[in-house]
Structure 1
Amino acid sequence: MRLAILVAGLPLALGCAASAVQAQPAQPPTNAPGIFSCVDAYGRTITSDRPIADCLDREQRELTPSGTVRRRLEPSYTAKEQAEREERARQAQIAAAKQTDERRRERALLMRYPNDATHERDRAEALGQIDAVIQSARKRQGELADERKKIDAELEFYRNDISRAPPALRRQVEESTQSLGVQNRFIGEQEEEKRRVNQRFDDERTRLRQLWAPEVTRK
């Protein structure tokens, strides 16, 4: 009797199982072909069952049948385009490194010169050192000028005709001329160095005023 009840209920159980299977939505196989999608140069969205030729220069997305992104395809470049792309990346790296270096110099400048007084003190010290060198050079210039007066006095004996002067005196005239020329050029170079130092400090002060401004604002 029990066996008969079990056998009789078997078709009903099978029917319920079949209904349950039919009620579940079909799941696409994981290796189902994807759908490729991109936005072309004209702003149009294009879809295809294979990579899209009109979007080789831009990113494409491969979507699963359910619409999720399976993968992203990077743009394809010609050799020239790739070289240009790499050059742009290189220039961007150079610019970023330059900016980082500039920020580092600014921090060092602020640490060295926290205010205007320290900056002007360094300017005065740098210019003072150059002035000391110029003063020493001018002293030597005066000594050479005195020596030349003595040489010229001897040359008057020969009516200032260098060709009639003895070899030793002519050599003195030549050496004196060269020494005075060297000393004059040296003093000129030091005066030019003073201008460069002043210009450097002027440029630094202009930048420092911009860097000091936030400090003043916070105070």
Structure 2
Amino acid sequence: MRALLVVAGLLLLAPAVRAQDGSPGKGIYTCTTADGRKLTSDRPIAECTSREQRVLNPDGSHRATLPPFLSPEERAAKELADRRAAAERLAAQDAIRRDRTLMQRYPNEASHQRARALALDDANKAMRISERRIQDLGVERKPLMDEAEFYKGRPLPGKLKQALDANDAGVEAQQQLIENQKAEIVRVNARFDAELARLRKLWTGTAPGSMPPLSELERTAPRATPKR
């Protein structure tokens, strides 16, 4: 039954092929099967329903091409393959665009090094601020510790204990900020190292879009906002 339906569909397509070409008379259908056999007929060839068939004029000249006759399942698979191919083309175009943008932004290594220094500046400033704050907290702690000496072996007054606890919490918070900024520096350097390795290849003639893409972390190292 399926074979009859396929042949019927091909026979319906045959007039359309002739109409598109505009040539009078019967066409000669020819194709090559999957196992290499060359078939010829005066009507669409059932054995070649999944393959392209050439339609020839009686003198052997090419009249038209009959595309494969696809089942609904085959058509769905082809549409899926077409969508995937389109997505791959877009991804390739995007990769080329990214590399060209990178080269426009950094035409040479000096410009890239300047950008690295600028990106690291915020983290370094934040670290220096935290280090100064820790020094200030150390100065603030000294009179508190001197006062605590009077209560050696005894419970500290609530106000004094609260002040010492707040001082400890402040130091801990600033130390955590310093660790965050150190991690930020590592991320920024990793991003710029990956970019520089890519740029050196692009600068020496490697085609844009021909290399694996930078990872998301390498493309956009997140910047921590320093807390004051």
- How far did 1:202 drift? 1.0
Aligned twin of 1:35: 28
List per-residue Cα deviations over 1:138-159 (Å, max 9, x = no partner). Answer: 1112223443455455555555
| 1:147 is aligned to 2:155 | no
- Closer/same/farther in 2, CA of residues 114 and 152 from structure 1, 3 Å limit: same
List per-residue Cα deviations over 1:148-206 (Å, max 9, x = no partner). Answer: 45545555555588xx4444444434433433332222211111111111111111111
Aligned twin of 1:72: 65
Aligned twin of 1:100: 93
Bigger mean CA deviation after superposition, 40-49 or 137-146? 137-146
Equivalenced residue count is 184
Unmatched runs of 5 consecutive residues or more in structure 1: 1-29
- How far did 1:41 drift? 0.5
List per-residue Cα deviations over 1:86-107 (Å, max 9, x = no partner). Answer: 2322222222222222222222
- Closer/same/farther in 2, CA of residues 39 and 158 from structure 1, 3 Å limit: farther
Q: Counterparts of 2:197 and 2:170 in 1: how far apart (Å)?
A: 41
Letter in 2 for 1:118: S
Percentage of matched positions with identical amino acids: 39
- Closer/same/farther in 2, CA of residues 190 and 43 from structure 1, 3 Å limit: same
Find the partner of 1:134 among 116, 127, 132: 127
Q: Counterparts of 1:34 and 1:202 in 2: how far apart (Å)?
A: 65
Q: Counterparts of 2:153 and 2:96 in 1: how far apart (Å)?
A: 65
Aligned twin of 1:203: 194
The higher relative CO (CA closer than 8 Å, separation ≥ 6) is in 2
Q: Considering only aligned residues, what root-mean-square deviation do their CA atoms show, in Å?
A: 2.7
Q: Counterparts of 2:77 and 2:158 in 1: how far apart (Å)?
A: 71
Q: Normalising by structure 1, what TM-score?
A: 0.70
Find the partner of 2:184 among 184, 193, 206: 193
Q: Counterparts of 1:52 and 1:134 in 2: how far apart (Å)?
A: 78
The structure that has the greater radius of gyration is 1
Q: Counterparts of 1:157 and 1:86 in 2: how far apart (Å)?
A: 84
- Closer/same/farther in 2, CA of residues 147 and 54 from structure 1, 3 Å limit: farther
